[in-house]
Amino acid sequence: MFIKRKLSGSKINSNLPLRGLWFTSAQLYPSLHGSSSYINNLSEALGSKLKLDLAYFIDEDEYVKNSRIYQPQFLNIFHIPRPSLNGINPLHSGLNTYSSVISPNIVEWIKDKFLSNTYDFIVCDYVYLAPIFDFIPDNVVKIINTHDVYGDRHLALKWNDFEKKVSFCISAEEEDSLLERADIIISITEKEKQIFKPRIKKFNKNILPICVKYYPKQNIQKNTLQTLVLKEKFKIGFL
């Protein structure tokens, strides 16, 4: 499996079963967003081959709704209550960088959890969670599941001040400072991987960019489409 080959190196004893922690602030069930489906898809692949736990950093109400039965890929699920922001995140240079997401209870939980050196690697979703790597031992392989290239997207999309306040928004320089904390960076498309490669190369830290595409479990089969075409007209809409 790709992840075991990539993780096997100087930081990990490849003769022992790998043990990992997936750290996310995304709601995994129900999968209302593509990001949730992608996280479940990738973590299920990992959990079938390795020992994988979940650190679930979501608010109490969301956690109660997320029954354990929907995350069978994780051996253990640890809930870290996400504090209420009571409105929009604090802004940095007019951008909503999600910096306040790294709350004191995360830091304390991470420090306590890694005192026993339980895990060989950790995966976090989105670059804004990467500051937790500062509190994790050097021998643990640190992986960012990026989901997207967020640096300067507000410029490319020509966001106004309101859009910058309500959505995650970060400069390319700030994103680079977060990517620099990782050993491995996962992109969902090859195009994004090629965008990251020259940016992380300047760090001279051998950060490895890899692309893991998302393949849905269910696809419309060709014969199904042919049957529909023969029987009746149909329309496909994209939202």
Which residues, 6 or more positions from 143, have their beta carbon under 8 angstroms from its beta carbon? 121, 122, 123, 124, 182, 183, 184, 185, 186
Contact 126, 57 (CB under 8 A): no
- pLDDT of 86 above 90: no
**How far apart are the C-alpha atoms of 172 and 169, rounded to whole Å?**
10
The tens digit of pLDDT for each residue in 51-78 reads 999 999 998 888 888 777 788 999 999 9
Burial class (CB in 10 A: 0-12, 13-18, 19+), 130: buried
Predicted confidence at residue 33, as pLDDT, reads: 73
Digit-coded pLDDT (tens) for 119-160:
999 999 999 999 999 999 998 999 999 999 999 999 999 999
Structure confidence at residue 220 (pLDDT): 44
Helix (H, G, I), strand (E, B) or coil at 108: helix
Are the C-beta atoms of 168 and 89 separated by less than 8 Å? no
CA distance 132 to 181: 9
Could you give the residue ranges of the DSSP H alpha helices within 114-220?
A: 153-156, 161-166, 172-179, 190-201
| Amino acid, res. 85 | L
Band (pLDDT 50/70/90 cuts) for residue 99 is confident
Both structure tokens of 200: 């992380």
Tell me the per-residue pLDDT of 12-46, one tens digit each, with 9 for 90 and over. 566 677 899 999 999 888 776 788 889 999 999 99
> What token pair was written down for 51?
């020992």
Share above pLDDT 70 across residues of the chain, in percent, rounded to a whole number = 82
